[in-house]
Amino acid sequence: MPECTLLQLTPAMQNLASSATLSMNEAVKARKAAGRKTIHLGFGEASFPLHPLLKEALSRAATHTGYGPLQGIPTLRKAIANYLERTRQIAAAPEYVAVAPGSKPLLYALMQILDGDVLLPIPSWVSYAPQARLAGKQVFGVESDPADAHTLTRERLSNTLAQARQQGASPRILVVNTPSNPTGGMFSSQDAEAIAMWCKAEGITLICDEIYAELAHGWREHVSPARFYPEGSIVTGGLSKAFSAGGWRLGYASLPITDDGKRLMTALRAMASEIWSSATTPVQEAATVAYTYPPELERYVRRSATIHGYATNRLYEKLVDLRIDCPQPAGAFYLYPDFSPLRTKLQKRGITTSEELAHHLLEEWDIATLPGVAFGDRPDALRLRLATSMLYVPEDVESEEEKDVVLWELLEQADRLPGNGKDEGVGLKLPELERVRERFEGFVKSF
């Protein structure tokens, strides 16, 4: 007799696990609580201290306890529209900007609202595919080229689209993410334009997740594909990465300034009204200060990007020294190395998939990573995502106050770095990062 449970899940939820990143974070916390030291490269959290301007703005607004407007408070929407126009040359207007508790629910709402199946780059962020499937869509992965910073070519996009149509699907959405989680890669201006023009020619809506736009390391300019296809592009972003305020849960979506954009906003407002009502009011008021982007905040963000660039580049150099293939990161705080040069040796230890490799690194080397398979990569591709943003505070620094002191000092030092990921005599001290470099060296040389 089939088992009958009182709390029966829907078929869609029966196969859905928690997001790989959040699960890894919890596993690492549990290991630490059990006294097992772990180098945490598994979770991408920007963890610089909050800028005092934002702290003051939040305390000033603490008593504003009423619900905010569905779409977001007008001053914030205006600040975001100006910010996008000024810093990214994207056509934006306050009436076409929506604010929500994080960009994640906005991305999910867009999946619910927009018609058609979804094209996703391989690899891409862990939540896009589950969100699309939850919304009843089919997902088709577009292979990217690891030898060329995992960029997408028109040819590969067209091939995937044709295959999907042959299978009876109807893709009408492409989600891109530049700088990219998991690769740290960024589209060149030519790539951004080519992808946008391909979408335009095929009548595909382009969702540009630009949550890491401010964290370009300095050697490649962030170019939004939306610049080239404003009528068909939606840009999302938020406070989580550039302002190190993920827990504030504040994201935005900027829609095309067209009649279609207006209809989309009506649908988005309807979703907001049934699910989140509004983003937290005091956080929206503090976010208005963030997006007004005074010089102090601009400096803080630039310094954070420089430190992220330095850390990823230093690990990149080590991996390349060890003859591990790895595209050079240009933004955010991720690397996406490919351990296939060790495939035969790994096989002798029974490791043939990215999941087995991640497991081995965690159990034998105390390094927490995420397997490429979580980002839609083939299970046997020996790629891992490494996040470097949790390596800035020495292990023995425990109190929050001490951590803040260390991190502010680090940000101060960013101005002395050349901005190309190199140290050039500055002598930046990141002991945890050095430990990771040594640990990978030990691992590779253990064969």
Residues in contact with ligand PLP by CB under 6 A are 44, 102-104, 125, 177, 181, 209, 211, 238, 240, 246, 251
Q: Cβ distance 213 to 222 under 8 Å? A: yes
Tell the smallest beta-carbon distance from residue 430 to ligand PLP (Å): 22
Question: In the complex with ligand PLP, which residue's Cβ is closer, 184 or 309?
Answer: 184
Instruction: Give the closest residue to 320 by CA, choosing from 425, 429, 444.
Output: 444
Tell the smallest beta-carbon distance from residue 245 to ligand PLP (Å): 9
The angle, 0 to 180 degrees and rounded to 10, between the axes of the packed helices 259-275 and 103-113 is 120
User: Is residue 112 within a helix (H) or strand (E), and if so which, with residue range?
Assistant: helix 103-113
Question: In the complex with ligand PLP, which residue's Cβ is closer, 94 or 246?
Answer: 246
Tell the smallest beta-carbon distance from residue 353 to ligand PLP (Å): 23
**Which DSSP letter does residue 248 get?**
G
Cα–Cα separations (whole angstroms), residue 343 to 347, 348, 437: 6, 9, 20
Beta strands across the sheet bearing 334-335: 334-335, 384-387, 370-371
Q: Cβ distance 6 to 406 under 8 Å? A: no
Question: In the complex with ligand PLP, which residue's Cβ is closer, 300 or 375?
Answer: 375
Question: In the complex with ligand PLP, which residue's Cβ is closer, 98 or 342?
Answer: 98
Tell the smallest beta-carbon distance from residue 164 to ligand PLP (Å): 23
Using Cβ positions, the residue closest to ligand PLP within the complex turns out to be 102
Rounded CA gap, 351 and 312, in Å? 26
Question: In the complex with ligand PLP, which residue's Cβ is closer, 181 or 254?
Answer: 181
DSSP letters of 259-279?
HHHHHHHHHHHHHHHHHT-S-
Token readout for 111 is 């999946």
Tell the smallest beta-carbon distance from residue 215 to ligand PLP (Å): 11
Tell the smallest beta-carbon distance from residue 214 to ligand PLP (Å): 13
Question: In the complex with ligand PLP, which residue's Cβ is closer, 311 or 342?
Answer: 311
Question: In the complex with ligand PLP, which residue's Cβ is closer, 68 or 444?
Answer: 68
- The string over 77-92, giving b where at least 16 C-beta atoms fall within 10 Å of a residue's C-beta and e elsewhere, is bbbbbbbbeeebebbb
Tell the smallest beta-carbon distance from residue 249 to ligand PLP (Å): 7
The angle, 0 to 180 degrees and rounded to 10, between the axes of the packed helices 295-321 and 52-60 is 130
Question: In the complex with ligand PLP, which residue's Cβ is closer, 125 or 443?
Answer: 125
Instruction: Give the closest residue to 300 by CA, choosing from 59, 46, 42.
Output: 46
Tell the smallest beta-carbon distance from residue 400 to ligand PLP (Å): 21
